[in-house]
Structure 1
């Protein structure tokens, strides 16, 4: 014990009073979209290990334990509780302001929430003076804090984190959460404190009971399938005490059967450190859906538990939970720091029935599902080192005076998606020595690593975990030559009430849109989405080529084998894309159907967006071929032939792009629609060319003119710059079609990409103004830790927990 109380919380967290609600949070634009409401906090858990979420009201409510699946549900038995006595009075609270809605745990006393509405600032400050604050929640992913105020006499803080930091390919995969408690007695009398950690035995819950769920097309044209977890099915589950001289815990398991291990099978563990002067108590089998009196009676009375042990497995239609508690007395001025940990070992992710992958962390802890106690013990041994590693990674950015606090806050918190985005990270293999990795496009469009989205959204992965980034691109390279002639109906036609043509799932040579969905076979069965026929898209092939060359350059420019691995796919996809150049002018034309990332937006002829990406991709392919020639990798004649082919295509295409699209101020949307819309992302190709050190695809003065027009029309003149930049409006900021969808949406990730372009072109102040507008909309309106693809000026959103907003790291890359 020490006499110092100083939990260091960075000044640039997202923070909010504990339990304070939102007056008018954003709501979904379409009823079919997912809207869990604003109670989201920073997730806990390693990449691909499954994660849990705990909101600013203290409840554990997000369960992404089954790879790719989403459950949002408060589980009251999963809880921290605190007892406090100063010798004359006692009190005890479960530390969630959300009492169970099902009537369970009636014996428990629930923590009071902060009162007082008032407008929120970007960091969550209350500006109202009519308030009673019971504490504050802070988040700076992967760390978050609860600071409890005005209820206990003890100054009490709980810091939560998982061992996630840049460049770490081991601990970042661990299925573990650390809860580091700091208790300080500021009074002149002794205080006795008890901290209890309770947890539901959930072994077996997290798998789809429907092993071959039927896929249907919902009202927005997206394919969906039903997910029925085995929620509450606890028969055979049991809890037992585990301890050694240093640590004490409770292992939550299930009676072994003769069947092989399946998804959802394994163990959970809650544990704490043994400490001089600290008593440890336990209860291994209490009724989590009863009144809760079986553990609350003694805990509320004196901070203890009855030390009840019972390893009897649960019968059918019953549930059970475990509890451990510590009790200690703080003398005046004393401080105690003590950790609790939660670990889970559920080693298998199942896609379609029988298609199983082991998770990455099993490379370090084994594959039989029995190691939750070992993982917990490792955390108790190493948590201080882990926290130090996180601080060492974050601190140089946090110390920068040239970056606003709100930017640093959003920069780290947007990384939540690497944990929370249905993330997969498989065990190592000979072909993939650090495993395969994937993040969902979002929770509404539940397929992995959509290539058009990750053109901007993958900057974070590239900069922080470059080997994982290259593993994703290798998966696309393997998929490009493959074909799948399964016929499919295209969902878009249903939304416009037209008859759909049949389309093959995957044409050989076409770059797939995505790496598949959790109900099939991710990495092997690609192009899950059927909203559009992605074989016809005019941006995907270029996106792939640019990301190959980008990943080579930004991971040191020495991994020539990576370029060689991807080269055949580069050739195939560019050849495939060139077949859409129907008029022979050198540039593939858009067909008039939505055939690119803005997949509700019709482009006709040569388009600024897709045409520019094509030019930049040709430059990247030329540079790639030259590197392979320099290193004598591949057939020299073939490489020289391809290089000269791309040079000829580029020479033909470049003047056509200018001739058909430049209007003297900005680049037209396309060459055939006659639209005067200013498209926000019209020069994505130019941004990428300059990013990769390639020749400009448009003259610099024209790029600057177009960019200034975009900033003025799409941002300043669109709702006075309050929301961010709309995708496409007329030069005066008005809509071309007031009923249009994509043009009038503010796409969070596209805005961050546009801001990176502004920085690149010397317009840093404008970049920060644009970025701040979007960040404020997200973090002031209940969208934190579920950042959507799109927001609107009417306070609605679409497609939460989206991949593209991690493009904010592209801004940092350009500033840096």
Structure 2
């Protein structure tokens, strides 16, 4: 490819890959050329993908689901919490989302599109708003020599604009919460680098809540003459939904001077009946920057007038006053332009911010009004756009400094491979973009469930909840349930390591719901039986559907009766101790202790024969809700043994001798039964039923042991799991589930037969669950199997991010060929468990060279060059 007078793209890639200087693009992260097309095209899981035998097992479920789906969508006019008939199709376009935590997100794709919106809490729509763009104008000697929309799109609308930027001249680089897009302007000897910054900062509970992002445009002029460069930012008042044309929306310019800094821009007031909000485009005034705007233009037709306005003199007309409210059927947009001089062989920069202010919001039921966390600092009047923008434009450098200090130890660790440095930060996108809500707790809210502390309950408003608010995130963008607890068990490592106060706040909320009950009867879709929505002293599956009223009505999930699930209570107990171990918060441990005792008492009923080990029911009664399990099992049995172990440990800390003696006795009997019934000499059998597939190799069989190690408890602590057996089990999983599946390049399949073929007995046993794989890799690292752990996790990263084009939408599951399930899922946040395991390595291990795995057949630079040609 000949780029004429510009540096060749391959040379440019070499330059960026070898240094962190230049345009400021780090060498580690996820990188893609804007001209790249993914060859692999996966499809969402559908009923036709199920084997005939499995279809026959679930005919009744299908009938009940269809009836429920029809009632939900056609009668109640609501969105199903899982919609099996309208799965979100794979669009290989997404980049790092914009915004902090809990105030809604807007996703900008890697080609520059604003294409995924989550402003209404927990509810997504996937619409590219084509007029939301950046445009560059170059002027030499008072004449415009180049003007281009920085988009590879060629839309049917806005034909008056110059579309179709050649993607071969640009690449995108993401290291969340920042991203860079580098454009070589063809024939102009000018390079633009757009740096996108969001305030997602560990241990920061103020700035991390802000619904705002900053775009910094660095301009490099390699010509022998000076240029005047303008960047124009255009945005539609809305997000591509029908209500963009509902009428009554209006725009206005603003100018805010504060603390010797001035910002100017346009406010786009989106005046819907439910959850109105304001978008705010802004720029910071500086001595050699000229800010201009167009308050309102129609994003329909050719839109030639706006284009001509910019091309005429590199600025916009900047009319005063507000635009009139839109008429029904009409859309309105706004534009903001900033111009600056760039000397010959010199640099300059331009800064924009984008904020969105929805201070009060309601969920789908419209029953309660919730106040977002950021309003603690910016008020609830809906007029925070200018001050949010002012703060962002004057503080984003501080954000970047904090982000760099946080990421530096990982990025500079020579023992870690490059793919991992991308994965550990980029997978964190879900903390903000998981339908996340972070709200203040109302003064009259009682989270205790009505049971006072002296009765074994909680304070009405625990101090940590009052100070840090309530936090919730979805199981997945397609599986729309908040704080799904069996999955949060895996994902929780990201919160407890980076925002521990939010992790503890979530736990207090869950603990309060444990002692509550909802006797309302409803039909479970799997069995057809009628059971209570919520049973007392049982951990709920989730705290509700954003299309209903979360926290008030829990357990949106109705496929199974999760009061009969074996893992939820155990996962609560394990997380309580893990959280205490990492935070050393004694008050938290004391508050959670009676709740732990209550849920363990409930769990005791699943030990039918009194041998100290619980049994599964024969149904899919745990997080693998499509994979039946009978009798004592490796997964739930291991979680039980680990939970009994931490009950002993907590009883020791709290000096409760009687409880310690009781659980230590159970531990001795249960460990012996676990070993006798499940250990086969190489690994732990899937279950002890003796059925034909009971000896399948489950990749997640050491989950209980994993949490013990993550909680600082050694292999021999309370004689829970013998070290040599754990190592043997992990080796079996690596040999069979990893290396004998997909040529060792896809991660670990959930179930594998000892003869080396996947277990096809259920709809989940032959899937790869990305979050489970990351947890498995963490377990291997804890056990000193560093190379095996990294290789196992690498298979998932390469599959999702490089081959399947699922960046910033990591799914729950995929099969060996062609199929994925549930895009943008919570569980892969478990990659932070890998980081915890790596942090706990002996110091010497960190100073060695990174292990080479069989997947690393091409250097990252070679992959980049291949993707760009």
Q: State if a TM-score over 0.5 links the two structures.
A: yes
Unaligned runs of 5+ in 2: 1-19, 47-84, 444-460, 840-869
Q: Contact between 2:261 and 2:284, CA under 8 Å: does it hold in 1?
A: yes
Distance 1:147 1:736, change over 3 A: closer
Aligned to 1:178: 214
Per-residue deviation, 1:508: 0.7
Q: In structure 2, what is the Cα distance between the partners aligned to 1:255 and 1:626?
A: 57
d(CA) in 1 for partners of 2:726 and 2:371? 48
Determine the C-alpha separation between the residues in 2 that align with 1:748 and 1:295: 46
Is the aligned partner of 1:465 residue 2:478? Answer: no
- C-alpha change, 1:608 and 1:292, in structure 2 (3 Å) is same
* 1:782 alignment partner in structure 2: 805
Would the aligned equivalents of 1:241 and 1:284 in 2 still touch at CA under 8 Å? no
**Does the 8 A contact of 1:612 with 1:684 survive in 2?**
yes
Task: Report if the CA contact (8 A) 1:18-1:58 is conserved.
Answer: no
Of 97, 106, 120, which aligns to 1:66? 120
Structure having the higher helix fraction is 2
Q: Deviations over 1:424-472 (max 9, x none)?
A: 1112567221101111110121001211112221111111111111111
Counterpart residue number, 2:65: none
Kept in 2: contact 1:26–1:783 (CA 8 A): no
Q: 1:36 to 1:348 in 2, by over 3 A?
A: farther
Match of 1:147 among 182, 194, 197: 182
Matches within 5 A, 1:745-764: 745-764=767-786
Deviation at 1:5, TM superposition (A): 8.8
| Residues in 2 aligned to 1:307 and 1:596: alpha-carbon distance in whole angstroms | 60
In 1, Cα distance between equivalents of 2:786 and 2:480:
35
For 1:363, the equivalent position in structure 2 comes to: 376
Q: Deviations over 1:603-633 (max 9, x none)?
A: 101111101101110111122222223xxxx
Partner of 2:339: 327
Aligned to 1:91: 146
Q: How far 1:551 sits from its partner (Å)? A: 0.4
CA distance in 2, matches of 1:314, 1:744: 53
Q: 2:664: which partner in 1?
A: 647
Q: Report the counterpart of residue 205 of structure 2 in structure 1.
A: 169
Q: Indicate if the aligned counterparts of 2:367 and 2:549 stay in contact, CA closer than 8 A.
A: no
Does 1:318 pair with 2:330?
Answer: yes
**1:263–1:348 CA contact under 8 A, matched in 2:** no
Cα drift, residue 714 of structure 1: 0.7
- Aligned 1:586-605 pairs, distance under 5 A: 586-605=612-631
Distance change in 2, residues 1:365/1:490 (3 Å): same
TM-score using structure 2 length: 0.83
The partner residue of 2:599 within 573, 593, 603 is 573
Listed as ranges, the matches of 1:113-152 within 5 Å are 113-114=166-167, 133-151=168-186, 152=188
Kindly state the Cα deviation for residue 36 of structure 1 after the two structures are TM-superposed: 4.3
Moved more, 293-302 or 355-364: 293-302
DSSP 3-state at the match of 1:230 = helix
CA contact (8 A) 1:360 1:428 kept: no
Tell me whether 1:112 sits opposite 2:165 in the alignment: yes
CA contact (8 A) 2:581 2:712 kept: no
Q: Whole-Å Cα distance in 1 between the matches of residues 806 and 433 of structure 2?
A: 14
1:451 alignment partner, one of 485, 489, 493: 485
1:201–1:234 contact (8 Å) kept in structure 2: no
Alpha-carbon distance in 2 for matches of 1:785, 1:606: 37
Deviation at 1:673, TM superposition (A): 4.2
Which residue does 2:863 correspond to in 1?
none
- What pairs up with 1:395-434 in 2 under 5 angstroms? 395-427=408-440, 431=461, 432=465, 433-434=467-468
Look up the SS of the partner of 2:654 in the other structure: helix
Shift of 1:362: 0.5
Separation (CA, whole Å) in 2 of partners of 1:253 and 1:143: 25
> Which moves more between the two structures, 775-784 or 515-524?
515-524
| From 148, 152, 158, the counterpart of 2:194 | 158
**Separation in 2, partners of 1:688, 1:790:** 22
Are 2:366 and 1:353 aligned? yes
Moved more, 285-294 or 603-612: 285-294
User: Which string of whole-angstrom CA distances, capped at 9 and with x for unpartnered residues, describes residues 355-384 of structure 1?
Assistant: 121111001101111110110011111121
- The equivalent residue for 2:823 is 800
The answer as to whether partners of 1:105 and 1:291 remain within 8 angstroms in 2 is yes
* Closer/same/farther in 2, CA of residues 428 and 501 from structure 1, 3 Å limit: closer
Match of 2:309 in 1: 298
| Farther-moved stretch of structure 1 (463-472 vs 300-309) | 300-309
CA distance in 2 between partners of 1:231 and 1:671 (Å): 58
Match of 2:566 among 538, 542, 554: 538
Aligned counterparts of 1:330 and 1:158: Cα–Cα separation in 2: 16
Of the three residues 609, 615, 619, the one matched with 1:583 is 609
Are 1:719 and 2:742 an aligned pair? yes
> Aligned equivalents of 2:21 and 2:808: distance in 1?
30
C-alpha separation in 1, matches of 2:183 and 2:690: 59
CA displacement at 1:229 relative to structure 2: 6.7
Provide Cα deviations, 1:707-745, integer angstroms capped at 9, x if missing partner.
Answer: 1111111111112212111101111221343x6321110
Return the alpha-carbon distance in structure 2 between the equivalents of residues 279 and 685 of structure 1. 60
How far, CA to CA, are the matches of 2:36 and 2:345 in structure 1?
A: 31
Q: How far is 1:231 from its partner? A: 4.1
Superposition deviation, residue 654 in structure 1: 1.4
Gaps of 5+ in 1: 115-132, 207-227, 494-499, 630-638
2:407 aligned partner? 394
| Secondary structure of 2:503's aligned partner | helix
Match of 1:766 among 764, 788, 792: 788
SS of aligned partner of 2:280 = strand
Distance, in Å, in 2 between the alignment partners of 1:600 and 1:303 is: 60
Q: Which moved more, 1:301-310 or 1:514-523?
A: 301-310
Superposition deviation, residue 42 in structure 1? 0.5
Hey, what's the Cα distance between the residues in 1 that align with 2:582 and 2:633? 28
- Counterpart-to-counterpart distance in 1, 2:473 and 2:140: 49
Describe the SS at the equivalent of 1:744.
Answer: coil
* Deviates most, 135-144 or 690-699: 690-699
Residue 533 of structure 2 aligns to a residue whose secondary structure is strand
User: Equivalent residue for 1:668?
Assistant: 685
- The answer on whether the counterparts of 1:155 and 1:183 sit within 8 Å (CA) in structure 2 is yes
Is the Cα–Cα contact under 8 Å of residues 241 and 309 in structure 1 kept in the other structure? no
8 Å CA contact 1:285, 1:310 repeated in 2: no
Deviation at 1:404, TM superposition (A): 0.8
Change (3 A) 1:519 1:378: same
- State the secondary structure of the residue aligned to 1:492: coil
- Superposed, 1:470-549 pairs within 5 Å as 470-493=504-527, 500-549=528-577
- 1-structure distance, mates of 2:628, 2:21: 60
C-alpha distance in structure 2 between counterparts of 1:377 and 1:540, whole Å:
45
Please give the secondary structure, in 2, of the residue aligned with 1:23: coil
Give the match's secondary structure for 2:650. helix
Alpha-carbon distance between aligned partners in 2 of 1:651 and 1:346, rounded to the nearest angstrom: 55
Instruction: Indicate the residue corresponding to 2:705 in structure 1.
Output: 686
Give matches, 1:689-704, under 5 Å.
689-694=708-713, 695=717, 696-704=719-727
Q: Distance in 2 between matches of 1:468 and 1:393?
A: 18
Relative to 1, partners in 2 of residues 1:626 and 1:525: Cα closer, same or farther, differing over 3 Å?
farther
Question: How far apart are the structure 1 equivalents of 2:228 and 2:475?
Answer: 49
Q: CA deviation at 1:532?
A: 1.5
Whether the 8 Å CA contact 1:273–1:340 is kept in 2: the answer is: yes
Return the match for 2:469 from 435, 445, 460.
Answer: 435
Q: 1:810 aligns with which of 805, 829, 833?
A: 833
- Aligned: 1:20 with 2:33: no
Give 1:266's aligned residue. Answer: 277
Q: Are the equivalent residues in 2 in contact too, given 1:729–1:744 (CA < 8 A)?
A: yes
2-side partners of 1:22 and 1:108: how far apart?
Answer: 28
Q: Is this contact kept in 2: 1:280–1:327, CA < 8 A?
A: yes
Aligned CA distance change for structure 1 residues 234 and 394 (closer, same or farther; 3 Å): farther
Q: Name the residue aligned to 2:586.
A: 560
Residues 705-716 of structure 1: pairs in structure 2 closer than 5 A: 705-716=728-739
Q: C-alpha distance in 2, partners of 1:571/1:179?
A: 50
